[in-house]
Amino acid sequence: MSDLLKSYRFREERESDWRKLDLILTRAENSGVRALSDEDMTALPRLYRQAVSSLSVARSISLDQNVIAYLESLCTRAYFFVYGARTSIGERMMDFLRRDWPACVSSATGPTLLAALFLFGGWALAFFLCMQDMEWFWTFHGQNFWDGRNPDASVEYLRSTIYTDEGEISDGQLTSFASFLFNNNAQISLFAFALGFAFGIPTAWLLLYNGVMMGSLHAVFWNKGLGYEFTGWLMIHGTTELFAIVLAGAAGFVIGGAVAFPGQMTRLNSARHAGQKAASIAMGCVIMLIIAALLEGFGRQLINSDAIRYTVALSILGLWCAYFYLPRRAGPV
Amino acid sequence: MSSTVPPAPSAVNAATVEAARRRRARMQEEERRLKLARQLVTPEGAAIRLKLATAAERAGAFLIDVAIQWAIVIATGLGLGFVMRAMDPGSANIASALWLVFFFFVRNFYYIFFELGTKAATPGKRALGIRVTSRNGGRLTANSVLARNFIREIEVGLPFQFLMMGGDQVTGWMALLGLVWSGVFLLFPIFNRDKMRVGDLIAGTWVIKNPKTKLMGDISSSTGSVAHGRYAFTPKQAEAYGIHELHVLEDVLRQSTQEVKAQVALRIRQKIGWHMQPGETDTAFLEAYYATLRRRLEQRMMLGDRKTDKFDVR
């Protein structure tokens, strides 16, 4: 035996354990943690530690590159498995809804206010400009926008666009319209989040632009004496939808702020911290927009009474605020 | 450098110059590879070497994923179109509405869905043997996965939108300007050391290679003690090469054809001045020489003396 290499004897003594670990990992990677038996789970930490120490020893005594490459990949896989996440998707989702999301939103009140300022600032600007001189509407929109809902339209026509007559609607149209709007809004809000990376400037512009669009349209209806009715029509889903867009903008500002003003941290670290928080907020926006689309597709067209519209809108807004901003008991971490 | 080399017969000179050039090229290549290597120190205190995926691998994985996404969208679209012919207009509308929402989720959540799994890689990444992992060695959180994928909107979506803009002169120039600006985000991975996308930067992740190496037999064991007496190399012969050549020899023995082995064996015999014995095969000779060389080099290594290659004479 003496003429066998030291490194070979080293390998021979440990090889069966390496292969055992390899087998466990392969099984876990292919069919999940549940596929592992209790013995596997108890053996895993020992086998992992042994593989890691084998790797350090092999690096200093063996020149067999296959063994070293094998151990490197084995240890990497084992490391990611041993220190990887163990929670199931369901648990994560519950955690997100119960704690993560509201916590992230309530810790970003500053950016939220800023985003709201841009959106509603643009809104107010366009509204007052248009109220003074309707020519501004054409400047903002160009021709043929919002299928005839413009300053030249008659009051009756405008009224017909915000109330639905009995028997006029078919379910199919409602859903397809709602899903189209959801697609559009969700894509825009993800966009607002992503654009935050460019120091938040494009995000601000996007919010301002959307505010101007809505503000000028608002002015058209207001001018024809339909202000109260239009607000109700808009608010029933708008409280949720606009809140979501404001939050998406806030997520963009969180990132933009962290990249532009990292403070004590390095720029990379600051971006990472902000990114985690902002991503939660953006994910939440998608959920809010799904709810908004449901309200829009069904609620808005089926409820034609102004009073009920306002009640629904304000109670939903109240629910969102309570969900996000009411202090909650610190749960077990 | 040429001034320090004493004048020599031109044939010898050309060969040495060539050898030195190849060695330099090899070392540069190694340095380039080391640039993509990162060390992860586990809580046990052991260092694991991670290799970052190259920009080309990332792009390849992305193209595969995009192809899969389109395949899903087109297949479901066609299937739906087929089924919809049998439906009344109302439910057909609902079906197309649902498909639109499905499209949104395929576009935005395809990557998230796969990267949240245990393999932390989309099918495209799996095909190329790469995976996402957290930059600080901790666990990959769901928020990181969300962040890195939502950011894709400006890396791919934005340049694409500018590309589609076009139109008359003014908007054409605007589009070009926008394209250049958004191109910065798209080409971001090429310009940083860690090959991070903007999304990786925001999420605190990077993408590493995840090779699955098979453990093969040890070559030195197959020669056994039978051959030992037969191939008795002198210490000088066992010293002729270094670690680099040993690794090349290992690759030759594991992967090459018989012809290559014959050529390599010929070169080694010439270099160490080995006289072929009756009944000696190339493979047996190479395996025996591999074992001898490895024993010698491992002994030296344990004494803290790594002989990197045949030029390393101390």
Please give the full DSSP string across A45-63, using - where no structure is assigned. HHHHHHHHHHHHHHHHH--
| Residue count of chain A | 333
Question: Does A30 contact B at CB distance below 8 Å?
Answer: no
B:88-107 residues touching chain A, CB 8 A cutoff: 89-94, 96-98, 100-101, 103-104
Residue A111 has which token pair? 């950016």
The single-letter DSSP state of residue B157 is I
pLDDT in tens, A126-143: 888 888 887 777 777 765
Note whether B301 contacts A63, CB cutoff 8 Å. Answer: yes
Distance of CA A255 to the CA centre of its chain: 13
Question: Which pLDDT belongs to residue A1?
Answer: 40
**Which of A28, A61, A279 minimises the CB distance to B150?**
A279
Residue-averaged pLDDT of chain A: 83
Q: What is the mean pLDDT of residues A251-268?
A: 88
B:232-271 residues touching chain A, CB 8 A cutoff: 243, 246-247, 250, 254
d(CA B299, CA B306): 10
d(CA B261, CA B208): 34
Question: Does A70 contact B at CB distance below 8 Å?
Answer: yes
Question: Does A89 contact B at CB distance below 8 Å?
Answer: yes
Specify whether the CB–CB gap between B219 and B287 falls below 8 A.
Answer: yes
Per-domain boundaries in chain B = 10-35, 50-155+193-209, 220-302
Specify whether the CB–CB gap between B288 and B282 falls below 8 A.
Answer: no
Q: What is the mean pLDDT of residues A293-318?
A: 81
pLDDT-derived band of residue A246, with 50, 70 and 90 as boundaries?
very high
Asked whether the predicted pLDDT for residue A166 surpasses 50, the reply is: no
- Name which of A146-160, A166-180, B89-103 the model is least confident about: A166-180
**How far are the Cα atoms of A117, A208, A248, A320, A324 from residue A102, in angstroms, in the given order?**
21, 25, 14, 10, 5
Specify whether the CB–CB gap between A127 and A134 falls below 8 A.
Answer: no
Q: Running along chain B, 314 residues long, what does each successive block of 10 average in pLDDT?
A: 52 79 88 87 83 91 95 90 77 77 87 86 92 85 88 84 73 82 86 88 89 83 58 83 90 89 89 82 87 89 84 76
Of A248 and A185, the structure prediction assigns the larger pLDDT to: A248
Residue A156 has which token pair? 């009756």
pLDDT-derived band of residue A89, with 50, 70 and 90 as boundaries?
confident
Q: Using a pLDDT cut of 90, give the percent of chain A over it.
A: 25
Question: Which pLDDT belongs to residue B110?
Answer: 92
Question: Which pLDDT belongs to residue A165?
Answer: 54
Question: Which pLDDT belongs to residue B1?
Answer: 43
pTM of the predicted protein model: 0.81
